[in-house]
Amino acid sequence: MYKPVFVLLLSILLSLTATAQPGRWQQRVKYTMKVDMDVETNRFSGTQQLEYSNNSPETLKRVFYHLYFNAFQPNSSMDVRSRELGKKMVNGRPDWDGRVKDRISNLKQDEIGYQKIISFKMNGVPQPFKYHETILEVELTKPILPKTKVIFIMEFEAQVPLQVRRSGRDNPATGVRYSMSQWYPKLCEYDYEGWHPTPYVAREFYGVWGDYDVTINIDKNYKLAGTGMVINTAEIGWGYNAPGTELKPISKEKRTWHFIGKNIHDFVWAADPEYKHLVRQMPNGGPMINVIYKFQEGNTANEDAWKAVADAAVVVLPFMESKFGKYPYPQYSFIHGGDGGMEYPMATLLSGPGLGTVIHEWMHSWYQMMLGTNESLYPWMDEGFTEFASDLVQKYYRDKVTRVKNADNKAYIKSLDSTDALLPLNHNGNYQSYYFIAKSGLEEPLTTHADHYNTNVAYSVAAYSKGAVFMEQLGYIVGAPIRDKILLEYYKQWSFKHPNSADLIKVAENVSGLQLDWYKEYWCNTTKTIDYAIDSLWEEGGESKIRLKRIGQMPMPIDVQLTFKDGSTAMHNIPLNLMYGAKKEDTNNQPFEIHEEWRWTHPTYVLGFKQRLTSLSKVAIDPSKRMADIDQRNNVLELNW
């Protein structure tokens, strides 16, 4: 039923990959995995064939794999790190992740997670390997030459841990039986910087794009959702062959589920006997939307909330594509599971149907699944940009649904009223979080490795909030319409290419015509803050003068709005000399006068204007509040002449 759509979208996806503009080479993988799950012991065995294309110009003498489940054992790096951070108090509370705490240290033998490699061969030849907890190192008996392919074949077995972080089983908060993320031996990324065998301590991921062919044998009563397309839909039913169909009865004790995913860098699945499946098909050949959630007998509020997720997805996808780029995959699944919200290719795990989390996780499809920055090194380019984008999508959704409600006095989404609190109108929350960390003494530069922040709170605010402020503030510097063009060009040039921060800035400079390296250096490489003030006013030589003062250590271009007694306003823009130009347009098409540049070495600047000083009633630095000035009390001057 879905095959023609799948083929069409796949051809578009492969075209995107083939024509990716920058010439940075990418490694390539092709996984074929078969898994047999025992739901009584919570263990599974598997085989993995991996075709690995070394597209680099370098000879590889070893390879590395992630073994994520090994983190869920007492005294693991994840366990000890969590407990050590729990000894630190921030605002009177332990600084550990509330989902992890000391739970790993209390796991019993049948509750821990593990991944064990039974055998490993390259091109049919056994290879020696050794464990580094969550990393497997394979010393190759024969190196992989540049521009060649090899076949790795692996046998492995694993035990699914109790739900602690992201993956696991039997989470009492959701009741979901299996949340299967980071469940298989996954080849580490090798790029222009070398290998990235990042141990699984807490944070984010980095993977090699390729194709996945995954077959899962599991108890026949279990219902599955995951990355990719179910291709044996005629055998499965349950909404995959046609919306609303039941799971097809079989005589065997185990059912086989067969998934295919193209041009992705990870694979997630989840399973539960009580799952329910909602389907929405986007019009005009768009993707199929799946919502899979744990059915609760008699809980109509739960039913309505998950239906709201499906309906909201249909509403917001066109807006998301218009602002951030085309969604190229044939389906997306919102899956009840995990321990909060966690993104994967073509799917997300959600502990509940809150629309704020739903939209945030879906936006990761752009800033992690399609752009794929190294989250360990650049978490702010994923989490932060996703935060920025999801704020806009949520506002769009709220406005769109409110208009529909007002038009016919009906609730387009039944649970709208209960989710209003999750839908911020702007980025204010992220700005406030940034101001907190900037004044706390806990802030660390955005260049800090995600696992190496001194506190969880410093990481969270840096990655999410300071990253979101980066993008909104970029709109203040270059003009919001130009920033929006930058985002689309960034997607166009760097989809499926693992961009870094320098790549982003280069795109921004090309689109805006401004130099922006200074912005990245100050905002990302330091913790210097922005603070500007109105210093004094006077008249001189028939012209009114306003002296502005830079108090903070980070220089910025400055918008100044003058309000006069007759109610009229005038906007003035003072470029920073390091920009070598000025923004040409901004929000609401409000005209502004561009002045001589402010040299970053000079702590003060004098702004002149023609009107009499006594005609002025108010002076405001950055009335839009997009510039992250940490003390805005000195940004506004009210005049009562």
Q: Please write the tens of the pLDDT for every residue from 464-476.
A: 999 999 999 999 9
Torsion of CA 75, 81, 86, 89, to 10 degrees: 150
Residues comprising the chain, all counted: 641
Confidence at 22, pLDDT banded by 50, 70, 90? low
pLDDT value at 639 more than 80: yes
How many CA within 13 A on the CB side of residue 636? 10
What residue ranges define each of the domains in the chain, with the CATH number in brackets? 3-13+28-72+107-402 (2.60.40.1730), 426-525 (no CATH), 532-638 (2.60.40)
- pLDDT at position 66: 98
Percent of the chain with pLDDT over 90: 90
- pLDDT at position 588: 75
- pLDDT at position 217: 98
pLDDT tens-digit readout, 563-619:
999 999 999 999 999 999 999 999 877 899 999 999 999 999 999 999 999 999 999
pLDDT tens-digit readout, 344-375:
999 999 999 999 999 999 999 999 999 999 99
How many Å apart are CA 102 and CA 72, to the nearest integer?
A: 11
Tell me if 550 sits within 8 A of 608, measured CB to CB: no
pLDDT tens-digit readout, 373-422:
999 999 999 999 999 999 999 999 999 887 665 554 443 333 333 333 33
pLDDT tens-digit readout, 309-346:
999 999 999 999 999 999 999 999 999 999 999 999 99
Whole-number average pLDDT of the chain? 93
pLDDT value at 131 more than 80: yes
pLDDT value at 17 more than 60: no
Sign of CA dihedral 88, 94, 99, 103: positive
- DSSP annotation of 334 reads E
- pLDDT at position 333: 98
What does the block give as tokens for 206?
A: 């980095």
Among 439, 456, 440, smallest CA distance to 552 is for 439
How many Å apart are CA 501 and CA 494, to the nearest integer?
A: 12
- pLDDT at position 404: 60
What does the block give as tokens for 312?
A: 């909201």
pLDDT tens-digit readout, 512-542:
999 999 999 999 999 999 999 999 999 999 9
pLDDT value at 425 more than 70: no
Between 432 and 23, whose confidence is greater?
Answer: 432
- pLDDT at position 16: 43
Confidence at 124, pLDDT banded by 50, 70, 90? very high
pLDDT tens-digit readout, 56-94:
999 999 999 999 999 999 999 999 999 999 999 999 999
pLDDT tens-digit readout, 267-309:
999 999 999 999 999 999 999 999 999 999 999 999 999 999 9
pLDDT tens-digit readout, 202-246:
997 899 999 999 999 999 999 999 999 999 999 999 999 999 999
H-helix or E-strand spanning residue 460: helix 456-460
- pLDDT at position 204: 74
What integer is the mean pLDDT of 1-8? 38
- pLDDT at position 426: 76
- pLDDT at position 205: 87
Max Cα separation, the chain?
96
Is pTM beyond 0.95? Reply is: no
How many Å apart are CA 434 and CA 509, to the nearest integer?
A: 25
